[in-house]
Amino acid sequence: MALEFDPSLPAINETEIEHYCFGCGSQNPHGLLLRFRRRAGGGIWADFTPERTHEGYLGMTHGGILATIADEAMSWAVTDGGDIGVTARMSLTFRRPARVGEPLRTVGTVTQRRGRAIDAVARIVTVSGGDLVAEASARFIRVSADQAREWREAYGAGDDDSMFGEAIARGSALD
């Protein structure tokens, strides 16, 4: 039986390609360096432990950091489904503070695809007890075929060293 959250699985966004995304870019020394993996039963997940540099009020993780984590989780769930989309709107509800140094886990899942619109949800919980920290929903819009092609070429989609790896190489409704 597969583990629901198996850290031994390769990250779907691991790459050596130059990428400076604040949320997931491996080249950004100031970024969050999120690494997403597939979740047994669907969706994607990543762990993150906020540091002092992610602080808002004393000892608490800044809400903007949590919003970025949720947005990245939903975006990578969309990407893992073979689409390239951008966030059109997002709603986030904070359920409890996330303490600096407290390991967190985010899970992103696509809930619906219709036309160019893709809806997704994300949850951020504590790793230790599964306490709900925040939950989000968003609508993504598939980018144009020209934009998708440009990003695929820039990020090496279809190559062994692709940022998008097999996720986008599987194809998209844009093609």
pTM, two decimals, is: 0.86
Name residue 123's amino acid.
R
Whether 164 has a pLDDT exceeding 90, the answer reads: no
Binning pLDDT at 50, 70 and 90, where does residue 21 land?
Answer: confident
Instruction: Indicate the pLDDT class of residue 172, thresholds 50, 70 and 90.
Output: very low
Q: Residue 101's Cα: distance from chain center in Å?
A: 20
Tokens of 5: 């959250």
Among residues 3, 38, 58, 20, the alpha carbon closest in space to that of 163 is found at 20
Q: Which of 5-9, 22-26, 77-81, 142-146 shows the lowest per-residue confidence on average (mean pLDDT)? A: 5-9
Is residue 89's pLDDT more than 50?
Answer: yes
Beta strands of 127-169 (E only): which ranges? 132-142
The pLDDT confidence band at residue 171, using thresholds 50, 70 and 90, is very low
Q: Which CATH number fits domain 38-169: 3.40.47.10, 2.60.40.10, 3.30.70.260, 3.10.129.10?
A: 3.10.129.10
Name 170's Cβ contacts closer than 8 Å, sequence gap at least 6.
82
